[in-house]
Amino acid sequence: MRTHLVWLRNDLRINDNLALNAACRDADAKVIALFIATPQQWRQHDMAPKQAAFIYDSLLELQQALADRGIELLTQACDDFAASVDLLVACCERHRVDALFYNYQYELNERKRDAEAEKRLDRAGVVCQGFDDSVMLAPGSVQTGDGKMYKVYTPFSKAFVRRLQLALPACVSAPKPRSGGAVKVIKAAERFDYPMEEYDRERFPPGENAALQRLRHFARQPITDYCVARDTPSVDGTSRLSVYLATGVLSPRQCLHRVLKEHPRALEESRLFTWLNELIWREFYRHLMVAFPALCRHQPFVEWTRHVDWQRNEEHFTAWKTGKTGYPIVDAAMRQMKALGWMHNRLRMITASFLVKDLLIDWHEGERYFMQNLIDGDLAANNGGWQWAASTGTDPVPYFRIFNPTTQGERFDSQGAFIRQWLPELKEVPDSDIHQPQRWAEKNHKRLDYPSPIVEHKQARKKTLDAFVRAKNAA
């Protein structure tokens, strides 16, 4: 009997899993699956403890779903990617595997790991098949007229949509139960030797069934209001699907097809396209990471920005991390992330801009801190977002465009509903002063248990502009 092995990584689902589907096409083959935890590598990549816990819980659900279809999921652990290749090869030898099926990961270390695995398994006579599973369109398939990767998002997006309008990427079905029937889960997935923190299971219920249920709900009605509601952090106006996409519990193709099933003209109607546009941003950053591998090494895309004289100020950095900068919208957002492992997308832009443009602290520091805390942490999206905010990446916000944190708060949380939720020390401050609470305290002779602003925005803005101009002139 032929034996097929599915090497699972960031693809913890049975529906629309290209590698799993391909492995199961041969009805006569025995199919087994393997997940290898690499805690030491996760530490190097700053995986958030909440994300590790979410992956573990989703893995347990996947293990049962596969067992119901007659597929055993083996779980093993080792320190790093090099050791994981040894485990994979040993597993193939032990189970006399004829073919390996896996879905590509596009980060540089992961690509090197996969190349080494294919090289060794090829020598052992194991056929390897890889698939572009975590994207709608494969990296390198959306290019400029001269065959290069787009460096600006808007033309990339237009070209991407044209490709989708010509032919949608297919969604594949979950595997049917194997002829031998269900198998027993002899041993649940071993708990990772990695720090794991509890997370809000009501907000982020683990597993594929929960992800599909949330997608169906969002695609019916909330998506129609997304273009308006998405910028108001006090409103539950986002999909909250990012954690499922980041860990592969859900595929972007499933998202695309579900939205188009509910709203067939979503690619043409701007109001409905707004959310799909966010998915295309996700694709843009993945395609860029493959075209420009230096991004995986956290290198700035704009060369001259290497010369920016970033400030090293631990007091300011700590204030930013702990939500004590004296700017309420920034502080509320940072406390939200610390508590939930998640932050509203608009607030990610505001807090990143504040760290880089008001405090003039190196964006690498913020990028790493986000990865260490976000349950939906994703290298491509996180790096892309930070380089956008820092004006160091491809198609970034211009360096002279600097968010005013007070104005941003007034615009997106005008009555302070979100701020009061995360800054209870400001509960007595009226709406008119919620974005400048110290002004109210001084005027009314009150004492607040809340800091004054650690920098004055106007002065900080000038300092940042000067630093960027010097860097540009030095290039």
Catalytic residue IDs: 278, 281, 310, 345, 363, 386
Classify the C-alpha dihedral 138-141-144-147 as positive or negative.
positive
Would the annotation count 239 as a binding residue? yes
Classify the C-alpha dihedral 290-293-297-300 as positive or negative.
negative
Would the annotation count 342 as a binding residue? no
Would the annotation count 146 as a binding residue? no
Strand order in the sheet with 3-8: 72-77, 30-37, 3-8, 99-103, 127-131
Question: How far apart are the C-alpha atoms of 343 and 238, rounded to whole Å?
Answer: 11
Would the annotation count 7 as a binding residue? no
Q: Which residues pair with 99 in a beta bridge?
A: 4, 127
Would the annotation count 157 as a binding residue? no
Helices assigned H by DSSP within 221-378: 222-229, 242-247, 252-262, 270-291, 314-322, 328-340, 345-353, 363-373
Q: Which residue shows structure tokens 């990767």?
A: 149
Would the annotation count 223 as a binding residue? no
Beta strands at 3-8 and 30-37: parallel, antiparallel or unpaired: parallel
Would the annotation count 240 as a binding residue? yes
Question: How far apart are the C-alpha atoms of 300 and 464, rounded to whole Å?
Answer: 17
Would the annotation count 281 as a binding residue? yes
Would the annotation count 279 as a binding residue? yes
Residue in 86, 78, 101, 81 with CA at minimum distance from that of residue 31: 101
Would the annotation count 26 as a binding residue? no
Would the annotation count 275 as a binding residue? yes
Conformation bin of residue 238: beta by default, left when phi > 0, alpha when psi is -120 to 50: beta
Would the annotation count 18 as a binding residue? no
Would the annotation count 251 as a binding residue? no
Would the annotation count 284 as a binding residue? yes
Would the annotation count 378 as a binding residue? yes
Residue 362 tokens, joined: 């190196």
Would the annotation count 154 as a binding residue? no
Here the contacts of 306-314 (C-beta below 8 Å, separation 24 or greater) are 306/471, 307/470, 307/471, 307/472, 307/474, 307/475, 308/392, 308/467, 308/468, 308/471, 309/467, 309/470, 309/471, 310/360, 310/361, 310/362, 311/359, 311/360, 311/361, 312/361, 313/359, 313/361
- CB count in 10 Å sphere of residue 362: 18
Question: How far apart are the C-alpha atoms of 395 and 274, rounded to whole Å?
Answer: 19
Q: Which residue shows structure tokens 């779903």?
A: 65
- Run of H or E including 166: helix 153-166
Q: Which residue positions form the known binding site?
A: 226, 238-242, 275, 278-285, 376-378
Q: Which residue positions form the known binding site for FAD?
A: 226, 238-242, 275, 278-285, 376-378
